Structures are given as structure tokens and as C-alpha cells.
Amino acid sequence: MLKLGVNIDHVATLREARYRGRGFGEPDAAEAAKICEAAGAYGITAHLREDRRHILDRDVWKLREVVKRLNLEMANTPEIISIALKLKPDIVCLVPEHRLEVTTEGGLDVAGHEKSLAETCKKMKDAGIDVSLFIAPDEKQIEASARVGSQYIELHTGQFAEAFLEKKLPPGSDGAGLPELQRLISAAKQAHALGLGVNAGHGLNYENLPTLFSVPHMEELNIGHSIVSHAVFVGMKTAVTEMLHLMKGYKG
């Protein structure tokens, strides 16, 4: 059964738009996380960025207290690594991070940073924390991900989401002839053959999700913005429930 990790970063974005630097404010990310889990989400994802633009340190510690499964998205930097080793999330997802980007723009260059990533993977493994690497559907990056010792990859679905939008595909389209989808299919098969668990995320929403179901071996989807934005109109519980209902169509 395909699992849902709800990224609650943009709940904190809304709070910070009004209460930045004040140490309190609404909406509360941890309360949102509890609603998501109660609605059936498998886990909660939060990205503690170096610039603390949305999720703050106090958020991740509160989340660790109240959620059943915490996925900490993070850059491979000494400060954030140190926090993760103390926090002990269930899993970390290492992502590239640039200060000027609006959201994560591309996949991690695992092949170009094998030594440092292997060191981080070992530290996390020794602390009992699983590791996922957020990568583009690229053969070299998948091979490198297996070499450095991660348990999972998370396939960057951003290019697929953009192509779906640009080509104005209807919801439920099989995506035939879409190169971005074919790359994801090939990448998932390769990763599975190498013994890596396959997760996916970025830009996924209620319209393009059924088309992604052509990708085999997926275990978990991490979805944030579309759920949070839909929740503005229907509430968080309903937004999560509707996404989970869509995900039942995945046959693996």
C-alpha cells in the first residue's frame, strides 16, 4: 500500500508571514501534523532549512514529541546534522539547499559528494536513523546513492509535474509519451534492483498524481503544498483524506 508523508512546511510559512521572530503564532505546525496523522497519513515531513524560513527549531522538537513518524528534510551541513542526531527523527531526507531558491529546485548531487554523504549516512545509521536521498531520476545518482549507504531514494518529481502542467494533460492521463515520466519509471526500476526503497515527491497534486502511478516500486509519497493549499478551502483532515483516496489507485 502506498504511504503518504505530509509535508507541513507551508503551515509554518503561513505562521511566519504574520509572527516571524515572535516565538509564537498561528497556525501551529504540530497541531496540523496531528490532524494529518489522525486522517491517515503515514508520517510527517518537515524541512529545517538553514535560513529557518518556515519550520523552526522549536517546531521540530515539538513534532518529535507528538507525531508517530517524523521525516526531517535537511541539508548535509554540520549544524543541521548535529540537530538531527540529537532530535532522532525516524528518517532524514538529505536535500540540496540554496538560500535564494523559492523551493528545492533540483536533486542532490550524490555522485559529486560521495565521501561526505557516506559519512553522514554512517552517522545516521549508527544513531538508528534511516536515510533517504532526494535525487533526480538519473542513473549515476542512483548508483551513487546505493554506494553511500542510504536506505531510500526520493525521486524528484518536479520536472514531471511541470511537464504535466505545460502539456495540459487531463487528470488521470496515462502520460504516454511523456519523457519525464519514463525517466521516473526507469529510475524506480534501477533503484529497486539495487535494493533501495523508492519514495517520490515535489510538485505532486490531486490532478497529476494518478499519472505518476505508472512508476513501479514506490513506497511513500511526500506531498505538502497541494495538501496545505487545498486545506485552506476544505480543512486539513479532508485534504489529507482526499489525497489518500486518490492513492488507493496505485497498484505498485
Which residues are known catalytic residues?
Answer: 47, 73, 202
Q: Which residues of 208-234 are buried (b: 16+ CB within 10 A; e: fewer)?
A: bbbbbbbbebbebbbbbbbbbebbeee
Question: Which residues contact residue 11 at a Cβ distance below 8 angstroms, ignoring those fewer than 6 apart?
Answer: 27, 28, 29, 32, 228
SS3 label, residue 43: strand
Q: Which residue in this structure is represented by grid cell 533540483?
A: 106
* Phi, then psi, of 9 in degrees rounded to 5: -50, -45
How would you class 1 by CB atoms within 10 Å of its CB: exposed for 0-12, middle for 13-18, buried for 19 or more?
A: exposed
Is the link from the previous residue into 179 a cis peptide, with omega within 30 of 0?
no
Residues 86, 91, 97, 101: what is their CA dihedral angle, to the nearest 10 degrees?
-120
Residues β-bridged to residue 45: 7, 71
d(CA 97, CA 201): 16
